Amino acid sequence: MCTLINAERLSCMKPTAFLINSARGDIVDKAALEAGIIAGAGLDVFEREPAVTAALTAMKNVCLLPHFGSATVETRIAMGMTVVENLPAFFEGREPSNRVA
Protein backbone atom coordinates (compact mmCIF):
# COMPACT_ATOMS: atom_id res chain seq x y z
CA MET A 1 0.00 0.00 0.00
CA CYS A 2 1.29 3.46 -0.88
CA THR A 3 0.25 6.15 1.57
CA LEU A 4 0.69 9.88 1.12
CA ILE A 5 2.21 10.48 4.56
CA ASN A 6 4.66 7.64 5.17
CA ALA A 7 7.91 7.25 7.15
CA GLU A 8 9.95 8.86 4.36
CA ARG A 9 7.78 11.98 4.34
CA LEU A 10 7.59 12.17 8.11
CA SER A 11 11.39 12.05 8.25
CA CYS A 12 11.43 15.30 6.19
CA MET A 13 9.72 17.02 9.12
CA LYS A 14 11.44 18.31 12.25
CA PRO A 15 11.44 15.79 15.09
CA THR A 16 9.44 18.34 17.12
CA ALA A 17 6.71 18.62 14.48
CA PHE A 18 3.09 17.55 14.84
CA LEU A 19 1.08 16.29 11.87
CA ILE A 20 -2.53 17.46 11.63
CA ASN A 21 -4.77 15.37 9.39
CA SER A 22 -8.33 16.44 8.65
CA ALA A 23 -8.36 15.08 5.08
CA ARG A 24 -8.74 11.28 4.91
CA GLY A 25 -7.74 8.70 7.47
CA ASP A 26 -5.99 6.33 5.10
CA ILE A 27 -3.43 8.87 3.85
CA VAL A 28 -1.32 8.55 7.02
CA ASP A 29 0.78 5.46 7.67
CA LYS A 30 -0.07 4.62 11.29
CA ALA A 31 3.05 2.47 11.69
CA ALA A 32 5.17 5.48 10.74
CA LEU A 33 3.45 7.51 13.45
CA GLU A 34 4.12 4.74 15.96
CA ALA A 35 7.80 4.81 15.02
CA GLY A 36 8.14 8.20 16.71
CA ILE A 37 9.76 9.96 13.76
CA ILE A 38 7.92 13.18 14.69
CA ALA A 39 6.65 14.45 18.03
CA GLY A 40 3.04 13.46 17.38
CA ALA A 41 -0.16 13.96 15.47
CA GLY A 42 -3.67 15.34 15.68
CA LEU A 43 -6.07 13.15 13.73
CA ASP A 44 -9.59 14.29 12.89
CA VAL A 45 -10.26 11.37 10.53
CA PHE A 46 -9.58 7.66 10.77
CA GLU A 47 -8.97 4.88 8.29
CA ARG A 48 -12.14 2.92 9.09
CA GLU A 49 -14.48 5.51 10.57
CA PRO A 50 -16.26 5.42 12.88
CA ALA A 51 -14.08 2.62 14.27
CA VAL A 52 -10.81 3.69 15.87
CA THR A 53 -8.11 1.07 16.22
CA ALA A 54 -6.67 0.16 19.60
CA ALA A 55 -3.22 1.07 18.24
CA LEU A 56 -4.34 4.67 17.69
CA THR A 57 -5.97 5.04 21.08
CA ALA A 58 -2.84 3.64 22.75
CA MET A 59 -0.52 6.23 21.19
CA LYS A 60 0.48 8.78 23.83
CA ASN A 61 1.64 11.30 21.20
CA VAL A 62 -1.57 11.29 19.13
CA CYS A 63 -4.65 13.40 19.82
CA LEU A 64 -7.84 11.93 18.36
CA LEU A 65 -10.66 14.30 17.44
CA PRO A 66 -14.27 13.39 16.55
CA HIS A 67 -14.23 14.55 12.91
CA PHE A 68 -14.58 18.29 13.62
CA GLY A 69 -13.00 19.35 10.31
CA SER A 70 -16.34 20.30 8.80
CA ALA A 71 -17.74 21.91 11.94
CA THR A 72 -17.96 25.49 10.71
CA VAL A 73 -21.14 27.48 10.28
CA GLU A 74 -20.41 28.00 6.58
CA THR A 75 -19.80 24.31 5.89
CA ARG A 76 -22.85 23.12 7.82
CA ILE A 77 -25.07 25.64 5.99
CA ALA A 78 -23.64 24.47 2.67
CA MET A 79 -24.28 20.84 3.63
CA GLY A 80 -27.89 21.64 4.50
CA MET A 81 -28.38 23.58 1.28
CA THR A 82 -27.07 20.61 -0.69
CA VAL A 83 -29.83 18.49 0.83
CA VAL A 84 -32.43 21.15 0.01
CA GLU A 85 -31.17 21.35 -3.59
CA ASN A 86 -31.21 17.54 -3.98
CA LEU A 87 -34.82 17.12 -2.79
CA PRO A 88 -36.54 18.28 -6.01
CA ALA A 89 -34.29 16.01 -8.09
CA PHE A 90 -35.10 13.04 -5.89
CA PHE A 91 -38.85 13.58 -5.96
CA GLU A 92 -38.82 14.22 -9.73
CA GLY A 93 -36.98 10.93 -10.32
CA ARG A 94 -33.73 12.60 -11.37
CA GLU A 95 -30.27 11.75 -10.10
CA PRO A 96 -29.38 14.02 -7.13
CA SER A 97 -26.20 16.04 -7.69
CA ASN A 98 -24.58 14.68 -4.53
CA ARG A 99 -25.76 11.10 -4.22
CA VAL A 100 -24.41 9.24 -1.17
CA ALA A 101 -25.56 5.69 -1.87
Q: One of 34, 48, 67, 85 is an active-site residue; which one?
A: 67
Q: One of 8, 48, 49, 99 is an active-site residue; which one?
A: 49
Q: Can you tell me the distance from the alpha carbon of 92 to that of 32, in angstroms, rounded to the nearest whole number?
A: 49
Amino acid at 51: A
Q: Any catalytic annotation for residue 34?
A: no
Q: Can you tell me the distance from the alpha carbon of 79 to that of 50, in angstroms, rounded to the nearest whole number?
A: 20
> Residue 11 CA to chain centroid, in angstroms?
21
Q: One of 24, 76, 85, 94 is an active-site residue; which one?
A: 24
Q: Any catalytic annotation for residue 49?
A: yes
Q: For residue 27, give every residue at least 6 positions away whose Cβ sits within 8 Å of its Cβ, in sequence order, or none.
A: 3, 4, 5, 21
Catalytic center residues? 24, 49, 67
